[in-house]
A and B are shown apart, each in its own frame.
Chain A
Amino acid sequence: MNSGMNAGAGAATGSETDELAATARSVFADHPAEVSDGLPAPLWSTLTELGLVQLSLPEEAGGSGGTLADLAALLLVAGEATAPVPLAETELAGWLLHSAGLAVPSGVLAVAWDTGVSGAGAALDVRAESDGGYSVSGQLTRVGWARAATRLAVLATGPDGTDVVLSVDPSAAGVALTEGTNLAGEPRDDVRLDLPIAEADCAAAPEGTRELLVRRAALSRALLLAGAAVRALAGSVRYAGERVQFGRPIAKFQAIQQQLALAAAEVSAGRAAAEAAARIAAAGDVAGPDAGFAIAVAKARTSEAAGVIARIAHQVHGAIGFTLEHDLRLATTRLWAWREEDGSDAHWHAVIARRVLAEGADGLWPLLTRAS
């Protein structure tokens, strides 16, 4: 590897963020990257001790008080390590609970939101109770890591049509969990809710919470994708250097070189989009239109890149990469799973296009250059 090109690394972030990323890197390197039957407890407790869980939650709420830039750096590293831990989910749930003024419990948290608006299409039926709480019934689908969660943060449309945040105890009567997974074997559980939620566990969601939640989720996923993409490429480059056919490493064949160069360009593009979106969101207002557009692009571009990178990685690896015994799948199954989660490229491309059409031809270039 050419170390002469390394000087640009981390130039976008402060040294504290770099240190944090280095710490996270070494922690992940010390732990196997398999999704086991449950949460890898030693890894999770180490992350917790180091303050990497709830990294960007304010200290007074029990978090580490880090910035959004810190969180972005952590997620990029977690994605690259294909770390089998719900860092992103727990962080998102913590943010949601805290933004509504609810307590943020320690441990793994899961987050979910209903998909519909008030009335028709809503997956959750939320009714006001006389004691000031709510009763909630309905189905939440494919909730990340719900089985491991000590608390479930739910954003739902309340009885009056405005959003409420509910802090749900998954061990309570009236919560039924059906385990499922995504393509990478990460827990994606369906959760059936049919229970009352006490007033202390309910709060009105501040205006704009839903959009913010969607954006934060998409940005987190984009960063994880950008990280996993690096791992798939790095593994492929390494394998191409080791695998000998026709008397030489397959890396020496131009056909292989050209494919890996295409994959590397996709890795760089996805990473640039995700990092730019994180920077724009961190520097300004996550709720603003610039961050919204940047995050849409970040998730779209990383998702688009994911398929290309995974395809080339597997082609370079040959049949061995297609087996359970090889760890390439840790990266590629996540690329395939995550490109669909928190909005696929198809979803975000449509969002981007609607914005483009609304701005019109004269607005296109200003739209592309607005966020500096």
Chain B
Amino acid sequence: MSTAAERDLAQTLALPSVGLAPETEELRAEVREFLAKARAEGRFVPRCDVWLSGWDERFSRELGARGWLGMTLPTEYGGHGRTALDRYVVTEELLAAGAPVAAHWVADRQIGPSLLRFGTEEQKQRYLPRIAAGECYFGIGMSEPDSGSDLASVRTRATRVDGGWQLTGTKVWTSGAHHAHAFFALARSEPVQDGNRHAGLSQFLVELNSPGIQINPIRLLTGAHHFNEVVLDGVFVPDGLVLGEIGAGWHQVTSELAFERSGPERFLSTFPLLVALVDELSRAGESALGSSGLRELGALVSRVWTLRRLSLGIAASLSSGVAADVPAAMVKDLGTRYESEVIDAARLLVSIPPDPGAESGFARLLADAVLHAPGFTLRGGTNEILRGVVARGLGLR
């Protein structure tokens, strides 16, 4: 046994164990109180997978007004200069409550930080204050009909024209594009040379009301309209809306993946169902549950507690500038499988059939969870791709 190899491995997997500051816990209490009140007033009904399906612009603006969006952005751009863990706590409270967060989700989670890191001063001034206010919504233009897991194969072409670039191609699975103001489109600005597919890709900030854009709905199997196909037909993007550097698109896109993969949305999509399950079970009592059911429930809670600890550790690592791609991939793999395990347990332990027509409650939450579950282990990198990332981190490939 090579102890040196063990030590390397232990360190690859190591994460800080995070304690939250008292002021962060005070913030949590404020958010929790707001959510309890909003829910009591009927301003939202808890739902599963709210960060995809819960589009509510009024709610987003209210969060913005309370200072709970763009939290980590500097105050000069309308942000609040808070820590990553402050943002984490606000986010997990919203998700656990099943509150409608889809409208601002992409903008708050990744567009703001990307703009801050790669954007021009003008871009920051133009978008960040509105993102923090919950008034400006974004989509992600990465996948294409022929480019899913193999993102570097995108065929949307950016051609140099006078004063900017002309984009032609088709993006798919763009959540909320029919409501959003803009999206980040990844396009090939130079042909592949010498087999280096990661070079020659660029990111563009595309206003979705630009001429030449057509947005077509792609309905989920529930019939709901969240996804879109965005067809770009010679769309002009001025030089001022290039994100970062031409040719650096791959680096820019992949540098943000750990943030996208390790957040609480990767294990809390079915949390409202777990709450409804506990509600049913605690009213029926321990004797109705039986010993195997009891253990099943305990296992679910043990797993989600642990996932949260892992996820918090990654948030702390990332905020101190430490790369955490491998643990982030693990959280997403474990977390998204866990989201479906909640469904399995709910089905086994409570005999209420799923009802997509119900207004609320266990039957509706179960229905939404079952119908949304296939997406959990696909979006943001399939679990198989994520395990490949982990394998690379282990030195296997």
Contact = CB atoms under 8 A, between A and B. Distances in A.
A170 B365 CA distance: 59
Interface stretch (B199-207, B249-257, B326-334, B372-380): B326-334
A162 B182 CA distance: 69
Contact of A238 (B5, B16, B310): B5
Contacts of A12: 15-18
A257 B282 contact: no
A5 B302 contact: no
Interface stretch (B168-176, B235-243, B290-298): B290-298
Interface string A313-328: 0000000000000010
A254 B301 contact: no
Contacts of B384: 258
B5 A8 contact: no
Interface residues of B, number: 80
A10 B303 CA distance: 23
Nearest to A254: B388
Contact of B11 (A9, A279, A294): A9
A12 B274 CA distance: 31
B2 interface: yes
A113 interface: no
A327 B1 CA distance: 8
A8 B14 contact: yes
Contacts of B297: 349, 352-353, 356-357
Interface stretch (A86-94, A104-112, A263-271): A263-271
Given A10-B14, A360-B279, A237 B303 contact: no
Interface in B1-43: 1-3, 5-21, 24-25, 28
Contacts of B14: 6, 8-11, 271
Residue among A279, A294, A327, A350 with most chain B CB within 10 A: A350
Contacts, number: 243
B323 interface: yes
B324 A357 contact: no
Contact of A237 (B9, B271, B322, B326): B9
B394 A261 contact: yes
Contacts of A258: 384, 387-388, 391
Nearest to B307: A269
A7 interface: yes
A276 B16 CA distance: 9
A30 to B, nearest CB: 10
Contacts of A194: none
Interface in B313-327: 313, 316-317, 320, 322-327
B92 interface: yes
Given A6-B8, A256-B396, A357-B282, A268 B302 contact: no
A3 interface: yes
B198 interface: no
Contacts of B82: none
B8 A1 contact: yes
B25 A257 contact: no
Residue among A6, A237, A254, A353 with most chain B CB within 10 A: A353
Contacts of A81: 3
A353 B301 contact: yes
Contacts of A235: 1, 6
Interface in A292-318: 293-294, 296-297, 300-301, 304
Interface string B154-173: 00000000000000000000
Contact of A260 (B20, B275, B309, B394): B394
A127 interface: no
B304 interface: yes
Given A261-B388, A268-B330, A357 B281 contact: yes
A2 interface: yes
A230 B295 contact: no
Residue among A252, A327, A369 with most chain B CB within 10 A: A369
A350 B292 CA distance: 9
A190 interface: no
B344 interface: no
A11 B305 contact: no
A1 B12 contact: yes
A2 B278 contact: no
Contact of B7 (A25, A352, A365): A25
B357 interface: no
A272 B315 CA distance: 14
A5 B17 contact: no
B388 A257 contact: yes
Given A234-B9, A372-B20, A360 B390 contact: no
A293 B309 CA distance: 14
B278 A230 contact: no
Interface string B336-375: 0000000000000000000000000000000000000000
Given A272-B309, A301-B302, A257 B397 contact: yes
A283 B21 CA distance: 13
B251 to A, nearest CB: 15
A268 B301 contact: no
A361 B397 contact: no
A283 B297 CA distance: 28
A365 B278 CA distance: 11
Contact of A369 (B7, B28, B281, B393): B28
B303 A301 contact: yes
B10 A230 contact: yes
Interface in A1-38: 1-12, 25, 29, 33
A372 B18 CA distance: 8
Residue among A8, A12, A252, A280 with most chain B CB within 10 A: A8
Contact of B304 (A234, A238, A368): A368
Contact of A241 (B322, B393, B395): B395
27 contacts: A1-B12, A1-B395, A3-B8, A11-B316, A234-B1, A237-B396, A251-B396, A251-B397, A252-B396, A258-B391, A260-B394, A261-B330, A261-B390, A264-B393, A268-B310, A268-B327, A275-B17, A293-B305, A327-B1, A349-B299, A353-B289, A357-B281, A357-B297, A360-B279, A365-B97, A369-B28, A369-B92
Interface of A: 1-12, 25, 29, 33, 80-81, 230-231, 233-235, 237-238, 240-241, 251-252, 254, 256-258, 260-262, 264-265, 267-273, 275-276, 278-280, 283, 293-294, 296-297, 300-301, 304, 327, 345-346, 348-354, 356-358, 360-361, 364-365, 367-369, 372
Interface of B: 1-3, 5-21, 24-25, 28, 92, 96-97, 271, 274-276, 278-279, 281-282, 285-286, 289, 291, 294-299, 301-310, 313, 316-317, 320, 322-327, 329-330, 333-334, 384, 386-388, 390-397
Given A25-B3, A261-B391, 8 more contacts: A1-B394, A252-B396, A268-B15, A272-B313, A327-B1, A349-B298, A350-B295, A353-B298
The 9 lowest CB-CB distance pairs between A and B, nearest first, are A349-B298, A261-B387, A361-B279, A257-B391, A353-B298, A261-B390, A372-B20, A352-B298, A1-B8
